[in-house]
Structure 1
Amino acid sequence: MRVRHGGHGPPILLVHGHPRTGATWHAVAARLVKRGFAVVCPDMRGYGASTPVAVRPDHSQQSKRAVAADLVALMQHLGHDRFGVAGHDRGCYVALRLALDHPTRVTRLAVLDGIPISEALVRADARFARKWWHWFFFGAAEKPELAVGADPDRWYGGTPEHMGVEAFAEYRAAIHDPATREAMIEDYRAGLGIDREHEAQDHAAGRTVRCPTLFCWSTRDDMVDLYGDPLAIWRAWAPTVTGQPIDSGHHMAEENPEEVAAALARFFQ
C-alpha cells in the first residue's frame, strides 16, 4: 500500500474516490497539518500504486469491508488505534463501512459527496441512470476494461492545472495500468453486489454509525438535484449527522481545498 502521512495531533484518515489516488488530498492535507492534525492519505487497495488483489467471483476482494480492514491495519501500523476518517466519492462508502464495522476505532466520520450505496440504488431512477450510467456499465463483465483501456486519458479526462502536477502524474500512471483499471472497475462490481448486501444487513439489524458524523456536498454537483435533501438520507445511517455545503464541483478537495480543510478542521478538532 502506498501511503503519505505527516503532522502531529489528532489523526485523520483521508480516503480518496474513483479514479483518484491519495494525492488528490494534497492541498487539504497540507492545510490540516498546519492546523495541528496528523494526516494519513493512502491509495486504497487496487488504486494508484497500492497492490490489487486477485479477483473473486463475488468481487469481495474489492468490497468496502475488505478495503476498510486494510485501512484499520494501516492506522494501527502507524500507531493510531483511534482516529477520524473522511471519505470522498467511492471513499465515502469505505469510510462508512469503516465506522460501521470498527466503531471502537473511529472517533468521527466525514462523508463527502455521496450517500450509502444501497440508498443510491433504491433511488436509481431514469435521471440517475442518465447521469451515473457508468455504475451499471462497470458492473458488466470484461467490456468496461476494454472500453476504458482503449483511451484512458479520453475516458477519464483531468488536467495538472485542476488536480495538481504530482497528483495528475500519479493518476495518469494509474489509469494507464491495466491491473489498476480492473481493480477500480471491480470497486463498482462490488458495490452493486456484496456492498449492497452488507448495507442491507446493517439496515435489517438496525446498525447505525455511533460517532459524530459530518456530510459535505458540492454545490455544483448533483447531490441535491438527485436526492432533494441528502442529509435526511444520512440521518437514517448516522443519527447525529450534521451537514455543510462546499462551493465546488464534485472533486472538492482539488477545487476548493481551503473550504474543505476548514470544514474538516472544525469537525475533527
Structure 2
Amino acid sequence: MFDGFTVDDVPVGDATLHVRVGGDAGGEPLVLLHGHPRTGATWHRVAPLLASRGFRVVVPDLRGYGRSIAPAPRPDHSQASKRAMAEDVLALMRSLGHETFRLVGHDRGSYAAFRLAMDHPEAVRSVALLDCLPIVEHLDRITPEFATEWFHWFFFAQPETPERVITADPDAWYGGDPDAMGPENFAERREAVHRPEVVRAMLEDYRAGLTIDRADEEADRAAGRRLQPPLLVLWSLRDDLERLFGDPLTIWRDWADDVRGHGIESGHHVAEEAPDALADALIGFFRGVM
C-alpha cells in the first residue's frame, strides 16, 4: 500500500499522529481523514490516484485510531472531541510546512474535517465531506428507523459495556472482507481493533459526539456561524443516508453557502469500494474551486 509514501509519527500537542505522506513535494496539500473503525489505510486505493494528479497527499490516523496515540479519557470526553482532532490536523499540516490545504473527511473523519473548516476557514481552502451530516441534524431527525440502523451511536455512548462486548471478540464485531478491503488494509484495521486502548478511543469518539461535539454544533447554529470554505458533499447510494434523511445537499445548505455534491454508486466504505469515482469527484472539485 501507499507506494512512494513516507510514514512517520508526528507529535501534535497532547497526541501523536501516525501519518503517511506522498505525491508531488511541491503539489497542493490535501488531507484525507478516515472514519470508524478504519485507519488511514482505508485510502490506499484513492491516495495514489490523487498523488498521481499532482497533490501532496497527507493521510493521518485520527487520534486514538490505528497507530495514533490519544490522551487518556476525560470525564467530559474532550480528549476525543472533533475540535481536538481538528487541532491535531492543523498542527500536523503546519509541522509539514503547509499553512493552507484542501481537506476530505469520511464518516467520523468528516466531523473532524467539518470542525476544522468551521474553526479555521483561513487554513482550509475547500472541504469535501463524505457520508456526513452535522451531528445535530441527525439528532433532530431521530426516527425508529434511524435509532435501529444507527443504534451503535447510542450503544457506544454507554459507559464500559461497549468495551467489554467488543474486546471479547473484535473480529466478530467488526467483520470485514480482506479481498474487498485489500489484504494489507484489512490486516492493519484488524491489528488496531485488537488493542483495547484503540477500542476505548474509538468509543470515546462517539461519546464526545453526543456531548461536547453536539454542544459545539448547537453553539455554531445559535450564533449563526456558517461554513466558509467551498463544500463538496458526497454520499454512498447503497448506504442509508439519503433514504433516512432525504437530500443531504438541502440540509447542508443550512450550514454553508457554497454547497455542491452528488451520490456515488457504492456502499458505505466508498474509498475502498469506488476509488476511481471518488477520486474523480474530488479532483474535479478541488481543481474547480480556488
- The normalised TM-score by structure 1 is 0.99
What RMSD over aligned residues (CA atoms) do the two structures have, in Å?
Answer: 0.7
- The residue aligned with 1:163 is 181
Matched, 1:93 2:111: yes
Matched, 1:136 2:154: yes
Whole-angstrom distance in 2 between the partners of 1:128 and 1:174: 28
Do the aligned residues in 2 keep the contact of 1:5 with 1:41 (CA within 8 Å)? yes
Q: Give a deviation string over 1:136-175, Cα, whole Å, max 9, x none.
A: 0001000000010111011011122111122111101110
Q: CA offset at residue 106 of structure 1?
A: 0.2
Matched, 1:5 2:16: no
Matched, 1:125 2:139: no
Q: CA offset at residue 52 of structure 1?
A: 2.2
Q: Aligned with 1:250: secondary structure?
A: coil
Q: CA offset at residue 5 of structure 1?
A: 0.7
- The residue aligned with 1:26 is 44
Aligned-residue identity in percent:
58
- The residue aligned with 1:212 is 230
Query: What is the letter of the counterpart of residue 176 of structure 1?
Result: H
Q: Give a deviation string over 1:182-211, Cα, whole Å, max 9, x none.
A: 000000000000000000010011111111
Q: Normalized per residue, which structure has more strand?
A: 2
Q: Aligned with 2:45: secondary structure?
A: helix
Q: More deviation in 91-100 or 155-164?
A: 155-164
Matched, 1:104 2:125: no
- The residue aligned with 1:230 is 248
- The residue aligned with 2:264 is 246
Whole-angstrom distance in 2 between the partners of 1:19 and 1:238: 28
Whole-angstrom distance in 2 between the partners of 1:80 and 1:165: 32
Q: Aligned with 1:70: secondary structure?
A: helix
- The residue aligned with 2:133 is 115
Query: What is the letter of the counterpart of residue 67 of structure 1?
Result: M
Whole-angstrom distance in 2 between the partners of 1:86 and 1:128: 25
Number of equivalences: 269
Q: CA offset at residue 224 of structure 1?
A: 1.1
Q: Aligned with 1:50: secondary structure?
A: coil
Q: Give a deviation string over 1:211-260, Cα, whole Å, max 9, x none.
A: 11000000100111111111111111121110121110000000000000
Whole-angstrom distance in 2 between the partners of 1:169 and 1:76: 31
Matched, 1:40 2:58: yes
State the 4+ residue runs in structure 1 displaced beyond 3 angstroms. Answer: none
Whole-angstrom distance in 1 between the partners of 2:272 and 2:97: 28
Do the aligned residues in 2 keep the contact of 1:209 with 1:237 (CA within 8 Å)? yes
- The normalised TM-score by structure 2 is 0.92
Matched, 1:199 2:217: yes
Do the aligned residues in 2 keep the contact of 1:153 with 1:172 (CA within 8 Å)? yes
Q: CA offset at residue 114 of structure 1?
A: 1.1
- Which gives a bigger RCO, structure 1 or 2 (Cα 8 Å, sep 6+)? 1
From 67, 75, 78, the counterpart of 2:85: 67
- The residue aligned with 1:147 is 165
- The residue aligned with 2:3 is none
Q: Aligned with 1:27: secondary structure?
A: coil
Do the aligned residues in 2 keep the contact of 1:52 with 1:179 (CA within 8 Å)? no
**Runs of 5+ unmatched residues, structure 1:** none
Whole-angstrom distance in 2 between the partners of 1:181 and 1:224: 29
Query: What is the letter of the counterpart of residue 191 of structure 1?
Result: G
Whole-angstrom distance in 1 between the partners of 2:138 and 2:257: 19
- The residue aligned with 2:274 is 256
- The residue aligned with 2:8 is none
Whole-angstrom distance in 2 between the partners of 1:102 and 1:228: 29
Q: Give a deviation string over 1:79-136, Cα, whole Å, max 9, x none.
A: 1110010000011111000000111000001000010111111111111001000100
Whole-angstrom distance in 2 between the partners of 1:216 and 1:44: 21
